[in-house]
Amino acid sequence: MTSVVLSAFLLALREIRRNLMRSFLTVLGIVIGVAAVVTMVTLGNGATRAVSEQISSLGSNLLMVRPGQRLGPGRDSAGAPAFRKADAELLRSQIGGLKEVVPVAGSAVTVVAGNNNWSTTVSGTSNGYLPAGNWQIASGRAFLDDEERAGKAVCIIGATVRRELFGTRNPLGDEIRVKSFACQVVGLLVAKGQGAMGMDQDDTLLMPLATVQRRLTGNQDVSSLMISLHDGADTPAIMARIRSLLRERRKLADNEADNFNVMDTKQIAETLSGTIRTMTGLLGAVAAVSLLVGGIGIMNIMLVSVTERTREIGIRLAIGALEHEVLLQFLIEAVVLSASGGLIGIVLALLACIGLSAVLSMSFLFDPSINLLAFAFSAAIGVIFGYMPAQRAARLDPIEALRHE
């Protein structure tokens, strides 16, 4: 039996080599299907991982409150009154279960150090921003109380800002020019890496809120409130209370819509990863159709092969081959064909993942199990779609088959 299997395997390779072009065209459907599945799942896994890392880097439970209606394309906060620092204090004092309420005033600026300049976003905030946003200080220190109170020109910089302005040099104690004033670097944040959808989280610069309000924006506005919750807090209930408190404070009538929005960042990230999963699934379904077509291609070519080789089958049967031995031979041939298609598909998928992850600036996650699964699946296609032609070969009448020209 083993010698029959081995020789069938060698024969299959020989037949494929003899009909190289035909074999390649036959397995094209499987090549494309496998390549698509593996690429989709690999990139999908990479994206899902990026999102889940984003979720964990956000910290446990974080709410963002912004002026304006719900976040989304075409929505802006124009017309909606901004928040003030007092709003943060009010929420902290009126609602229990909040860990931190951190006001943030953002501003896009160009910062300069020596000959280097860099466009980034300054966030004016308090030390509470660090635990709320799950940031760690790599070196240096957080803001001092009097720096926060007096709005001193000090800053804590993210890894990207440090790299762009200082290279590998130690930035602590150096000065950065922000618009018209010089600002001393007192701290450096631990790098977080890329966030969801390629956003660079380390491209950030923190200053005390008062500093930003006085020297950059020139007003008392706060662009968002970051609220971190204790673990196990009842997020929906707290969100509802925040909402009703803010509606009251902003004097909205019952028939007026909110002119602010409260969002649960974790929920957004979860929605995002759900979306990625759905898309991966959809594209996987498309790939499955392509695999089905590929399987039918295999069946077709195996039927052609059985017809072409009727005489050979007749000889084998006449010599004493049993039905299942002939069946096995053609089954092996179909499997070798489809599995080699699967192999080519996997190689193509890996090349595509390397290329696409560079283009989409997204890391991909090599998962051996999906590659193995795709390979096994392609081999299974050979079995499923090769069975009928193989059975046809095995059931040939030896005399009829020998007479076949």
Q: Output 75 or 395, the one with its CB closest to another protein.
A: 395
Query: Whole-number minimum distance, CB 390 to another protein, in Å?
Result: 16
- How many residues interact with another protein (rule CB under 8 A)? 21
Q: Coil, helix or strand for 228?
A: strand
Query: Whole-number minimum distance, CB 329 to another protein, in Å?
Result: 11
| H/E element, 211 | helix 209-211
Q: Output 92 or 392, the one with its CB closest to another protein.
A: 392
Query: Whole-number minimum distance, CB 398 to another protein, in Å?
Result: 5
The length of the chain in residues reads 405
Per DSSP, 149 falls in state H
**Amino acid occupying residue 118:** W
Q: Output 182 or 399, the one with its CB closest to another protein.
A: 399
Tokens representing 266 are 């974790």
Out of 97, 131, 151, 398, the only residue in the binding site for another protein (CB under 8 A) is: 398
Q: How far apart are CA 400 and CA 264, in angstroms?
A: 75
Q: Output 4 or 64, the one with its CB closest to another protein.
A: 4
* Cβ-proximal residues to 396 (8 Å cutoff; 6+ apart), any chain: 310, 313, 314, 317, 326
Query: Whole-number minimum distance, CB 383 to another protein, in Å?
Result: 22
How many CA atoms are closer than 13 Å to the CA of 318, on its beta-carbon side?
12
Segment lying near another protein (by CB under 8 A), choices 2-10, 19-27, 149-157, 188-196: 2-10
10 Å Cβ neighbour count for 300? 13
* Ramachandran area for residue 114 (φ above 0: left; ψ -120 to 50: alpha; else beta): left
Per DSSP, 191 falls in state P
Per DSSP, 224 falls in state E
Query: Whole-number minimum distance, CB 320 to another protein, in Å?
Result: 3
Spatial contact of 118 and 161, defined as CB atoms under 8 Å apart = yes
Q: Output 304 or 348, the one with its CB closest to another protein.
A: 304
Sign of CA dihedral 9, 14, 19, 20: positive
Query: Whole-number minimum distance, CB 323 to another protein, in Å?
Result: 6
Q: Output 17 or 251, the one with its CB closest to another protein.
A: 17
Q: How far apart are CA 55 and CA 47, in angstroms?
A: 12
Residue with tokens 């002119």: 259
Per DSSP, 216 falls in state I
Out of 182, 296, 372, 399, the only residue in the binding site for another protein (CB under 8 A) is: 399
Torsion of CA 50, 53, 124, 69, to 10 degrees: 70
Spatial contact of 118 and 110, defined as CB atoms under 8 Å apart = yes
Q: How far apart are CA 271 and CA 134, in angstroms?
A: 21
Spatial contact of 184 and 235, defined as CB atoms under 8 Å apart = no
Map the footprint of another protein across residues 275-334, applying CB under 8 A: 311-312, 314-323, 325
Segment lying near another protein (by CB under 8 A), choices 155-163, 208-216, 252-260, 395-403: 395-403
Could you say whether residue 4 binds another protein (CB under 8 A)? Answer: yes
| Partners of residue 106 on adjacent β-strands | 123
Report the first-to-last Cα separation within the chain, whole angstroms.
Answer: 30
Q: Coil, helix or strand for 86?
A: helix
Out of 1, 78, 108, 253, the only residue in the binding site for another protein (CB under 8 A) is: 1
Could you say whether residue 168 binds another protein (CB under 8 A)? Answer: no
Query: Whole-number minimum distance, CB 322 to another protein, in Å?
Result: 5
Q: Output 3 or 369, the one with its CB closest to another protein.
A: 3
Q: Output 321 or 344, the one with its CB closest to another protein.
A: 321
Q: Output 320 or 368, the one with its CB closest to another protein.
A: 320
Query: Whole-number minimum distance, CB 313 to another protein, in Å?
Result: 10
Out of 17, 18, 72, 146, the only residue in the binding site for another protein (CB under 8 A) is: 18
Query: Whole-number minimum distance, CB 394 to another protein, in Å?
Result: 10
Could you say whether residue 7 binds another protein (CB under 8 A)? Answer: yes
Query: Whole-number minimum distance, CB 393 to another protein, in Å?
Result: 14
Q: Output 190 or 318, the one with its CB closest to another protein.
A: 318
Chain residues binding another protein by CB under 8 A are: 1, 3-4, 7, 18, 311-312, 314-323, 325, 398-399, 402
